[in-house]
Structures are given as structure tokens and as C-alpha cells.
Structure 1
Amino acid sequence: MSTAALITLARHGRHQVRRRVLLSSRLLQEDRRAAPARHGSTSERRWSRFDPDGSGRPATWDSFGIWDNRIDEPILLPPSIKYGKPIPKISLGKVGCASQIGKRRENEDRFDMAQLTEEVLYFAVFDGHGGPGAADFCHTHMEKCIMDRLSKEKNLETVLTMAFLEIDKAFSRHAHLSADATILNSGTTATVALLRDGIELVVASVGDSRAILCRKGKPMKLTIDHTPERKDEKERIKKCGGFVSWNSLGQPHVNGRLAMTRSIGDLDLKNNGVIAEPETKRMKLHHADDSFLVLTTDGINFMVNSQEICDFISQCHDPSEAAHVVIEQAMQYGTEDNSTAVIVPFGAWGKYKNSETNFSFSRSFASSGRWA
């Protein structure tokens, strides 16, 4: 798409562009019918940005690369020019978030969001265990740690990997200097997403908090739980002198204590293979198809599967309502853990809905869980 076309789109809105697209498509079809007479050949196909496959079919918003805008966000003009397609501005005010203590004594979950630079947005959830110390530390310092790295490094996967490792080292120093000895046993999951230019999405995670992208109404898991059930994780634990044991419910734990193999904190298990290095995933958003990104902690993940999360959110009017609905459903299904959800709407918000979705007050536990 040319710069002039994008500027026209930004100034005059989608309805005028629709008329111009359809008019241009009709004109191109007329030109195509007249082409054989002018050129004396029917084998040559004419191409244009309004009819890229030469089929003669009128351009639609999806084929033209426009999102089905239900959230009324303006266009990010510089990124749109850079990537050659209109990109909506994702504002923090439209992001939905909610956190519930469940039946625990305190809420050890934390979440955060921020505009780090003009181009980069930050979203995160932290699920603490052994006390809120590690989750609080990440909530306070992760943003700055990433900011410092962004000024030196362009690759967002590298930025997040280095930030996770640095925050783990910083927490270790903090814990050993703290007057509160209990903080030494504290740890936390961390699932962090960076969105650059409204189109480049990078997610990093340790532990069992999750990130899910809803594309065309279906969930795309962007994270994989770090549990002792994973063969690669289990082998690392054993190589480092640790062991895996199962409790009375059949759940595996590192050294009989920790249900995950990667975390920030858990300092007593660092020499037994519990690491803070995250697994990362990078992808490009398609705003015509992508409805939202959702970050969740295990209070939700162990009771509501990925498709159910997408279905519940898709039925809601806005992300704020959706975050509360997801947590309420997890509670209705029987979760007792802290539950947190952060929902970031994208271009296809409200476009894909499952008419068969039912909100329930009970469920079969076998249909959910960490493996969903």
C-alpha cells in the first residue's frame, strides 16, 4: 500500500475507503475486459493492489488487510506505512484485567502493563508462590529492566531473555540482603508480552502461566508450561542433581517442593536445575483475524481450557468485562487458587463468536486442566 493511500485512510475513514476500493475494483475489472482488444492477448493477467490475485472479485476488508474494527481505534500511520497495511493503535485504556484471591490466604498474583516507548507496549502476569516476595519484585522492577535492555538491543526475544536472567540475579541479591528470611523461599512464574508497532508480538515465559492468541475464534498457545512432566525439563533437573517426585494427587514436583521447572526466585533450587531462562515466541499479528491476546495464571488454566477461554471472552462486550467473566467462570468451575487475567484487544475484537458457548456453574474436571 502506498503512503498516499494510507494517509487517505487515516484522514477520511474506512467508509470512504470502502467506496473507493469497490470503485477501483470495478474500474480494474472493466480494464481487464478491455485488455485483450488493446494488447491482442488473453494470457496476460493484470495485477493491482485492489485485486492481487487477478480474479476480478471485489476486494473485501479481509483481503484488503483491514481489521473489522469493533473497538474504534485510530490507525498507527508510521507502522502502517512501514508494513504496508493499516495497523490499529492498541491503547492501554482498552486492555481488560482482573485478579481474584480465590480461597487462599493472600493474593500472590501480580500483573502489569505499560507503554515502554513510542513503539513498544508491555504486558505481564506473575504468579507467586512461597509468599508474594518474588512476584512483588518482578512487578516493581521488570518494566525498568526491559526498558534498559530496549535502549541497547533491537531483538525483542533477546531483550526479554536477558531481562528475565537479570531480574532473577537482582532478586537473589535482594533476598540475601533482606531482613525477612522467608523471602529466600519465594518464587514466581512470569509471562511477559511485548508488542512493537502494533504488529510484532513477542512473548517470554517461565513457569505455568500462559499466553494465548485468539485467531479466527481459535486459541493459539504462545507458551508451554514448564513442568517436570516435560522430558527435556525433567532431564535437566536430573543432570543438575535434582529429582522429581509425585505427591498423593499424582502431581510431579522438583525435589518434592516445586511444581515447575523454571521460575524467577526459588533460590534454594537454582543448583538443582530450576532456571530463569524463558522460552520465547515471536509472531506477526493479522488484525483482520486476531481478536485478542490473553495472559492467565494457573488458577484459570487448571480449570478452564484454552478454547473455553476464547469462547468466554468472545461473547463479551469489552475486554474489562471479559477479564472478570473468565475469572468468575474459573471460580464457578471450582478453582481455589489466585486467578488473574489480562486481555489485550486486537483488530478482530468481536468479529468471531461461538453461538454455542454456554456459561456454566459446574463442569467435569477431566475436560480442563493444565493439559488443555
Structure 2
Amino acid sequence: MSTAVLVTFVRHGGARVRKGAVLTSRVLQDKSHVTSACQCSPIHRRCFSSRFDPDGSGRPATWDTFGIWDNRIDEPIQLPPSIKHGKLIPNINLSKIGCSTQLGKRKENEDRFNVAKLTDDVLFFAVYDGHGGAAAADFCDRFMANYIKEFLIQEQDMEKVLTKAFLEIDKAFARQAHLSVNATLLNCGTTATVALLRDGIELVVASVGDSRALLCRKGKPVKLTIDHTPERKEEKQRIRDCGGFVAWNSLGQPHVNGRLAMTRSIGDLDLKSMGVIAEPETKRVKLHHADDSFLVLTTDGVNFIVNSQEICDIINQCHDPNEAAQVLTEQAIQYGAEDNSTAIIVPFGAWGKHKSSEVSFSFSRGFASSGRWA
């Protein structure tokens, strides 16, 4: 039904859109602009009132205006991207994004997170889980967005942009660490999971370490990242080829050179020559707002205690993303997470559509059924 609406609009109003796309976009987002535009021309008044203001209220058109599906996030539609991609695309407002972090049983919270609008059409979301101190996570939190913004000017492919940004920020942190009198900087590092959203529909995720990103589609989790652990055959082989080794601790968890539980990270400079790299794995997804409820970025305080389907179910029970982020991180602590727990939740078009009527959680479930084995 969304495509039919757009076809009708473009057929009858396409010429005006081509001549005044910027004006039209502003009209849809600002009530006062709608009033002034409608006074300019009877033709414009009929066009906007019949298609984007059906009740004559002057309010911007939303998903519910078109009666397409149930949605509890009242967001205006982005007109130019919707015409460009041939489907209705909501405006993702930064104020509607949920963020929460919990200390857990640690003495210090080494997790960091950030959300920002980098350009007119690109949004940025990131979580970092520091280890050996918060220095590397702090460095990424301060500078990652700047590196990405700089590379976006030079490159349209957001997968290449993220790869360049990860590699360059790792080099920059290394320069700072080698110039510092603080020798502990050589042994600290951080995971990094970063997502870019262009035009509200093109989603690209890059990650190193074991922080995660997943998309909830039709109530089911779609994993967008894979943990970089020595359990992965290709990761283990790279470590060995570079002269490193993998050792298992008393809990049966593999570590690079008996120290690091991941094979890719930003920082960990003492293990760079042993095959621990900062090059991320990337994933590109085209969103389907009729089916996609949200994107969630999490650190391992959540991941190793709550599995992917449980994450979707917990969030789907909540009224809004802010509540959902708080509930998710608190739930991880209640389930026994000792590590810092952080979550960012970005709502999409199907928010609230796939709420499960029966959700139950077992406190007695085995650890092997959660976290990285989910």
C-alpha cells in the first residue's frame, strides 16, 4: 500500500516536488510552513491536504495517517528519501533513541556509547567496551564520529568509510600511547560496534571484538555482527600465523596469548604483532520498515547473559526505546551479569507491531544457552 501512495503522489505532484523538494520537505515537518504553503496556491492546498494532511489538522503525515500498520512511535515521513527509494521512510529522531548503561559488579564502568547526526542524511550509533582500563574506549568515544564524518566527505560507500575510520583511530591511539608516560596504555583496548543509517533505510554496521548489533525483524533477531573470538577457525589461524597462541582458562574460555578474549580490537598494542587487528567486519542491510522494529547495540554484559531472542522479546514488551534500554540492561544484571552492561535501541517503522503475548524467562537455564553461544 505504501508504494501505491507514492506512485499516486509522484504522478500528480511530481513536477512540484522536482521544482521544490526542499520546500516540500520543510512543509511536511513544520505546521507553520504547511499553513503558509497552502495559502500560496489552491493547487498546492489541494495536493497537500488530500495526500499529506487528510484530516485538515496541519499535522505532518505519519505512518498512522496512511493506516498502513500499527505503530507506537509517532514520527513524520521523510519525503525526499521516500520518493528516492520508492517506499515510505520514517524520520528517525535522536530524541527517541534509547540508551542505558549499568555498572554491574565492576569497580569502574569501562563501557562507552554515543549517538549523533553526522550529516543531513547520516545518523551514527556506537558502543565500546573497554578492557585493561577505559582509555581506548574513551579515545573512540571522543574521536570515532569525527573520523567517520571526515571520510564520508571523501567516500560514499559506508562500509569503506567505517573500515578506514576503525584503522585510522587505532593508529591514532597507538601514537598517543607511545608518546604517553603511562605504560598501561599499551595493554588496554576496546571493542567497537558502530552503525551508520543513511536516509533512514540504508544501514551499515562495523564491529571488532564481542559487542554486538542485531536487527529485530518480524519479532525475530537478525544478527548483524559475529564475535571475534579465538574459537573462530579463521581468527585462530591468523593469530597462530603471526606467532601468537591461544590458551584456555579454567572456565574453558580461549584467550590470545592467555590474555585477551578477542582476536580483533582497537588498542591492545602489545598484541598487534600477534595478529590482533583493528580491521572490522562489516554488514549492509536495507531496512523494511513494515517488518523491522528496531536496531539494538549491546556490550557483552548483556550478550553473555541474555540471548538474542530474549533481547527482542524484552524490548518488544516495552512502551518506548528509553524504557526498553533501561529494562534490558537491568535484566542482565538481575540474571547475574557482573560486567558493565550497555544498550542502544533505535526504533524503526514496525516498533510495537510484533509484541509477543507470552514471554517467559528461565533463571535456571544453562549459561551455554545464552551469550555468545546463542
Tell me how far apart the structure 2 counterparts of residues 370 and 72 of structure 1 sit (CA, whole Å). 35
- Please give the secondary structure, in 1, of the residue aligned with 2:137: helix
For 2:237, which of 213, 235, 238 is the aligned residue? Answer: 235
Q: Does 1:219 align with 2:218?
A: no
Match of 1:75 in 2: 77
Once the two structures are superposed, the pairs formed by residues 186-201 of structure 1 within 5 Å of their partners are: 186-201=188-203
Partner amino acid, structure 1, of 2:146 = K
Worse-superposed segment, 357-366 or 74-83: 357-366
Instruction: Please tell me whether the aligned partners of residues 332 and 362 of structure 1 are also in contact (alpha carbons under 8 angstroms).
Output: no
Q: Which amino acid aligns with 1:344?
A: V
Q: Where in structure 2 are the equivalents of 1:221-300 lying within 5 Å?
A: 221-300=223-302
Distance 2:92 2:111 in 1: 24
Match in the other structure for 2:344: 342
Aligned-partner SS, 2:373: coil
Shift of 1:366: 3.4
The amino acid of 1:292's aligned partner reads: F
Larger radius of gyration: 1
Q: CA deviation at 1:361?
A: 5.9
One-letter amino acid of the counterpart of residue 335, structure 1? A
What is the CA distance between 1:107 and its match in structure 2?
A: 0.3
Q: By how many angstroms is 1:174 displaced?
A: 0.8
Unaligned runs of 5+ in 2: 1-5, 15-47, 55-60
Counterpart in the other structure of 1:317? 319
Task: Return the offset for 1:358.
Answer: 2.7
Aligned to 2:369: 367
Q: Could you tell me how far apart the structure 2 residues matched to 1:167 and 1:308 are?
A: 34
TM, length-normalised to structure 2: 0.84
- Which structure 1 residue ranges, 5 or more long, are not aligned? 19-60, 62-66
* Runs of 4 or more consecutive aligned structure 1 residues displaced over 2 Å after TM superposition: 1-18, 358-367
SS of residue in 2 equivalent to 1:90: coil
Distance (whole Å) between structure 2 residues aligned to residue 231 and residue 267 of structure 1:
23
Contact 1:329 1:361 in 2 (8 A): no
Instruction: Report the Cα distance in structure 2 between the residues aligned to 1:98 and 1:15, rounded to whole angstroms.
Output: 29
Question: Counterparts of 1:330 and 1:253 in 2: how far apart (Å)?
Answer: 24
Task: Please list the CA deviations of residues 22-50 of structure 1 after superposition, one character each: whole Å capped at 9, or x if unmatched.
Answer: xxxxxxxxxxxxxxxxxxxxxxxxxxxxx
Give the length in aligned residue pairs.
Answer: 325
Q: Distance in 2 between matches of 1:362 and 1:119?
A: 45
Instruction: Give the secondary structure class of the aligned counterpart of 2:357.
Output: coil
Code of the residue aligned with 1:305 in structure 2: it is N
The equivalent of 2:113 in structure 1 is 111
Question: Per-residue deviation at 1:15?
Answer: 6.3
Q: Deviations over 1:256-288 (max 9, x none)?
A: 000000000000000000000000000100000
Q: CA RMSD in A?
A: 1.6
